[in-house]
Amino acid sequence: MRIFITGGTGFIGTAVVHDLIAAGHDVAGLARSDRSAGALTEAGAKVIRGSLDDLEVLQDAARASDGVIHVAFPPDWDDFNATVAADRRVIAALGEAVAGSDRSLVIASGTALMRPGQVLDENDLGDPASAGPRRETEQDLLKMSGEGVRGVVVRLGTSVHGQADRSGFIPGFIAAAREHHASAYIGTGDNRWPAVHQLDAARVFRLAAESAPAGSILHAVGDEGIPFRDIAERIGKHLNLPTISLEEADAPRHFSEFGELAFITGQDIPASSALTQSVIDWQPQHPGLLEDLDQGFYFTR
């Protein structure tokens, strides 16, 4: 297949590009800078110059492909809603370009906040009263599946981890622990977080583009729900710092790097991938989050 990908030089996208090429697909990636273009070329992908603001460029690339994978999502922690709004414009443009063709359009979403306090499964469309704004993005894509688009949503576990991780939640938690001389959790720390290894997540995107049915929601989740306290304790152990409990009101100060999303550190947001494993014959094969933390590479940077 000829696959057009956005975000192909980011943490997740880089792994997706390598997985696609290893599986024999021809890949073209969007590149805004010379550095990104060089990375795509080195990986064996073709380069399409432009940015997410260049909707015509995106549409032309989508029309020339057999499928599209959209993973570009540079979060603005201080204005997450604005980031989601921009993402919806991109998805609308891509959907318009492939409408009526039955070609795949695979987008990234997240499991976080879709149904706090319950184990989220792939059939759950989330609670409109509590789910984050990416729920509306999912709804946009699912509607396209009735318009000749093989739309597939890939919800990523809240923490995506791996050796190339430089800007995800885990590096942020480590930075906060170093800054405040303590690794922290909220309340009892029993709230559960799902996680997935970067390479396992990449394989979900590739399999989604190849074979997932239109209107599918897939979960790239390896660890269904790790108590947040366990994550904080691992970080404290490796940094030789105490692990402490915070009141919910103190989360914005301790986890200030995440702006308006600091509250998420206290949320109970487990998620299952049982249906995904059945639908696309996928199983996580790489280390879980706690095992990755114990390998130590997160703490030597």
Dist CA 190 CA 84 (whole Å): 29
Please report which helix (H) or strand (E) contains residue 176, including its range.
helix 169-180
DSSP SS3 for 141:
helix
Residue (of 53, 63, 59) closest to 87 by Cα position: 53
Residue 116 Cα distances to 126, 140, 210, angstroms: 9, 22, 31
Q: Which amino acid is at 9?
A: T
Query: 53-98: per-residue pLDDT in tens?
Result: 999 999 999 999 999 999 998 766 677 788 888 999 999 999 999 9
Give the pLDDT of residue 271: 97
Fold classification of 2-160+194-223+269-286 is: Rossmann fold (3.40.50)
Residues carrying CATH 3.40.50.720, the chain: 2-160+194-223+269-286
Query: 1-48: per-residue pLDDT in tens?
Result: 999 999 999 999 999 999 999 999 999 999 999 999 999 999 999 999
What is the rounded (10 degree) CA torsion for 228, 232, 238, 243?
A: -150
Q: 69 forms bridges with which residues in the sheet?
A: 5, 106
Give the pLDDT of residue 260: 78
Give the pLDDT of residue 131: 67
Of all residues in the chain, what percent carry a pLDDT higher than 70?
98
The 8-class DSSP code of residue 157 comes to P
For residues 110 and 132, the answer to whether their CB atoms sit within 8 Å is: yes
Residue 73 Cα distances to 70, 85, 121, angstroms: 8, 11, 23
Query: 246-278: per-residue pLDDT in tens?
Result: 999 999 999 998 887 899 999 999 999 999 999
For residues 287 and 196, the answer to whether their CB atoms sit within 8 Å is: no
Please report which helix (H) or strand (E) contains residue 245, including its range.
strand 243-246
Dist CA 270 CA 121 (whole Å): 9
For the record, the structure tokens of 127 come out as: 């609670």
Angle at 30 between CA 3 and CA 23, to 5 degrees: 30
Give the pLDDT of residue 77: 64
pTM of the model: 0.95
